[in-house]
Amino acid sequence: MKVPKRLRGMEDQTSTGAQAFSRATRSLGDLLISYGYNYIDTPIMEETELFLRKSGGELAKRMYTFTDPGGRRVSLRPEFTSSIVRACLDGLGSDVYPMRWWYAGPVFRYEMDNANKRQFTQMGAELLGVDNASSDAEVMAMAVEGLSKLGVAQVALVVGHIGFILAVLKSQNVSERGRIFLINSIPELQLGASGLEEVKKRAEVLGLSGSDERTDSSAQSDYEPDIETMKNYITRTTAAERGVRGMEEIWDRFTRKQESESPFEKFNAATELLQRVVQIKGKKSNALQAVKELGLPKDPLKVLSRFEESFEAFEQYGLDVDVVIDFGLVRGVAYYSDLIFDLMWPNAEGESLGGGGRYNGLAQAIGGSESIPAIGFAWSLDDAVLVSSDQTITGETINSKANNLLIRPLNEAASGCALQEVRKQRDVGKIVSFDMTGISLEKALAYAVSQGIDQVLTVDENGLVIEENVR
């Protein structure tokens, strides 16, 4: 009888590999705990609908999905974020925000391009209930600092902003369906003139850029449609891009537009503007200046202003990392709404060791009664361990007897000094949550009680620390 073979993309692990993995997990776990994050574990298998509600995009095509014996459609988790938001909506933990969670475990994706990597380990964190520059900065800082603790050198933090892209398209009056189509087309737009023309043609086929009115012209057209070409375009688009139109209706609209020689000027102008935006990539100051020179309307510029604030807050952490802005950055999960980032190694053009972003609409999308602002990230732990300097894993072990602290700046001007105090306390093994909400001392003490925190430290702009015992 033939011995069953290991499934491709699923790995067996010996004690040697497991030890390196365990050391890395312990070091990164200590880091996340030191930031005040609590561990959460979610089921490996969930209802498929949970991941389809907002994850969508490329991820939906790569899920391991089947019908269980009870007749339910279920999937092995392709990522953690949706499950953690679902757990919070189910009542896990308190209803006091911000919530900080960290996790580690296997995820499953049917990768076609990299068939040797279909089960892998993600480790990361989610911060729920806060939407400001400080929360963006904290999550990016943890992501970068973790790789540093593993001894991974030459990491680049590549940052984009899907919310800015959406604001640009909305300012050009592009429909929601058109926005989905163009965001999915960003990789092609980055290819230059050939990609631009390809995107324009496909938009025309899908009826995204012309009038819905039927032409009264009775003139016969010399245009001979190539149905095979049209089918190729259609099969490369998602249902969200096509909308409710069937193949026949799309074809009818396409031929009518060809016959009337409609110019599609507005949509094409928006597409050309988007191409100029997504080709901007470089150091922070250069990239921001380049996008400002495009003469964009005020709404996209307002989003850009918050983007800059997030960078200023991140810089207060004093981390040694190469930061690159890439306005063409897209990630394979559709729930991202604003800032997104990748951790690239050995440089900005290398391979991703993880990434994350803001997903403010996910809670409502999966059934929550209201929107919950949130941001998170994950390391691809297998890849990170592979390129780490295992012997150089650094960081103080968490002192289980040390006080659990909440450190708050007295005012906005005190944020830098407060973060210095945060680093000082974490360096000696203490667990420190940083208050980024600007709440009063009274509310900070109430929050500390709800989270089991022992002390609240208030830091002023001169670095003076005032301690308040919670219990």
Give me the helices (H) in 316-462, please. 362-365, 381-387, 415-427, 441-451
Residue 309 buriedness (CB in 10 A; 0-12 / 13-18 / 19+): middle
| Mean pLDDT in residue range 74-90 | 94
Least confident of 2-11, 240-249, 270-279, 373-382: 240-249
- For residue 167, give the amino acid letter: A
Q: Is residue 324 part of a domain?
A: yes
Tell me what pLDDT residue 332 has.
72
| Parallel/antiparallel/unpaired status of strands 65-67 and 465-469 | unpaired
46 has pLDDT over 90? yes
Residues 6+ apart with CB under 8 A from 381: 21, 24, 25, 28, 104, 120, 121, 122, 123
Q: Is residue 133 part of a domain?
A: yes
26 with 161, same domain?
A: yes
> Looking at the DSSP assignment, which residues form a beta bridge with residue 101?
38, 126
- Total domain count for the chain? 3
Q: Is residue 192 part of a domain?
A: no
423 with 461, same domain?
A: yes
Strands, E assignment, 48-140: 65-67, 73-76, 99-108, 119-128
Task: Determine the Cα–Cα distance for residues 4 and 393; give it in Å rounded to an integer.
Answer: 38
Query: Which tokens sit at 219?
Result: 């003139």
Task: Determine the Cα–Cα distance for residues 471 and 452; give it in Å rounded to an integer.
Answer: 10
Query: Which tokens sit at 139?
Result: 């999550």
39 with 112, same domain?
A: yes
Least confident of 64-78, 79-93, 154-168: 79-93
Tell me what pLDDT residue 338 has.
95
Q: Is residue 52 part of a domain?
A: yes
338 with 448, same domain?
A: no
234 with 321, same domain?
A: no
| Residue where a domain terminates, one of 217, 235, 264 | 264
Tell me what pLDDT residue 394 has.
54
Per-residue pLDDT band at 107 (split at 50, 70, 90) = very high
Summarised one tens digit per residue, pLDDT across range 267-323 is 999 999 999 999 999 999 999 999 999 999 999 999 999 999 999 999 999 999 999
Around Cβ 135, how many Cβ atoms within 10 Å?
24
Residues 6+ apart with CB under 8 A from 29: 39, 102, 104, 123
191 has pLDDT over 70? yes
164 with 71, same domain?
A: yes
| Residue where a domain terminates, one of 392, 425, 445 | 392
Tell me what pLDDT residue 206 has.
87
User: By three-state DSSP, how is residue 1 classified?
Assistant: coil
For the beta sheet containing 455-459, the strands, ordered from the edge strand earlier in sequence to the opposite edge, are 431-434, 404-409, 455-459, 465-469
Q: Is residue 397 part of a domain?
A: no
Tell me what pLDDT residue 215 has.
37
- What does pLDDT average to over the chain? 86
CATH number at residue 87: 3.30.930.10
| Residue where a domain terminates, one of 213, 240, 264 | 264
Tell me what pLDDT residue 112 has.
76
Task: Determine the Cα–Cα distance for residues 335 and 357; give it in Å rounded to an integer.
Answer: 9
Domain enclosing residue 71, as ranges: 15-168+279-392
Per-residue pLDDT band at 235 (split at 50, 70, 90) = low
Contact 129, 146 (CB under 8 A): no
Summarised one tens digit per residue, pLDDT across range 390-416 is 555 555 566 655 679 999 999 999 999
Summarised one tens digit per residue, pLDDT across range 321-352 is 999 999 999 887 788 999 999 999 998 888 99
Tell me what pLDDT residue 95 has.
75
User: By three-state DSSP, how is residue 314 classified?
Assistant: helix
For every residue of 174-203, DSSP letters joined together read: --HHHHHHHHHTHHHHTT-HHHHHHHHHHH
| Mean pLDDT in residue range 252-281 | 76
145 with 39, same domain?
A: yes
- For residue 445, give the amino acid letter: L
Backbone φ and ψ for 201, nearest 5 degrees, come out as -65, -45
157 with 23, same domain?
A: yes
251 with 286, same domain?
A: no
20 with 82, same domain?
A: yes
Q: H-helix or E-strand containing 251?
A: helix 247-260
Task: Determine the Cα–Cα distance for residues 226 and 237; give it in Å rounded to an integer.
Answer: 18
Task: Determine the Cα–Cα distance for residues 38 and 94; give it in Å rounded to an integer.
Answer: 12
Per-residue pLDDT band at 260 (split at 50, 70, 90) = very low
245 has pLDDT over 80? no
Q: Is residue 300 part of a domain?
A: yes
- For residue 416, give the amino acid letter: G
Tell me what pLDDT residue 333 has.
75
Tell me what pLDDT residue 160 has.
97
Q: Which residue has the higher pLDDT, 95 or 308?
A: 308
Task: Determine the Cα–Cα distance for residues 44 and 105; give it in Å rounded to an integer.
Answer: 9
Residue in 342, 337, 406 with CA at minimum distance from that of residue 374? 337
Residue in 471, 470, 412 with CA at minimum distance from that of residue 441? 470
For every residue of 21-61, DSSP letters joined together read: HHHHHHHHHHHHHHTTPEE----SEEEHHHHHTTT-HHHHT
For every residue of 447-467, DSSP letters joined together read: HHHHHT--EEEEE-TT--EEE
Q: Is residue 185 part of a domain?
A: no
45 has pLDDT over 90? yes
324 with 387, same domain?
A: yes
Query: Which tokens sit at 86?
Result: 């679902």
Q: Is residue 229 part of a domain?
A: yes
CA torsion angle 304 306 308 311 (round to 10): -140
Summarised one tens digit per residue, pLDDT across range 414-460 is 999 999 999 999 999 999 999 999 999 999 999 999 888 999 999 99
CATH number at residue 409: 3.40.50.800
Query: Which tokens sit at 469?
Result: 């015992």
Residue 151 buriedness (CB in 10 A; 0-12 / 13-18 / 19+): middle
Tell me what pLDDT residue 288 has.
95
382 with 428, same domain?
A: no
Summarised one tens digit per residue, pLDDT across range 119-154 is 999 999 999 999 999 999 999 999 999 999 999 989
Around Cβ 74, how many Cβ atoms within 10 Å?
17
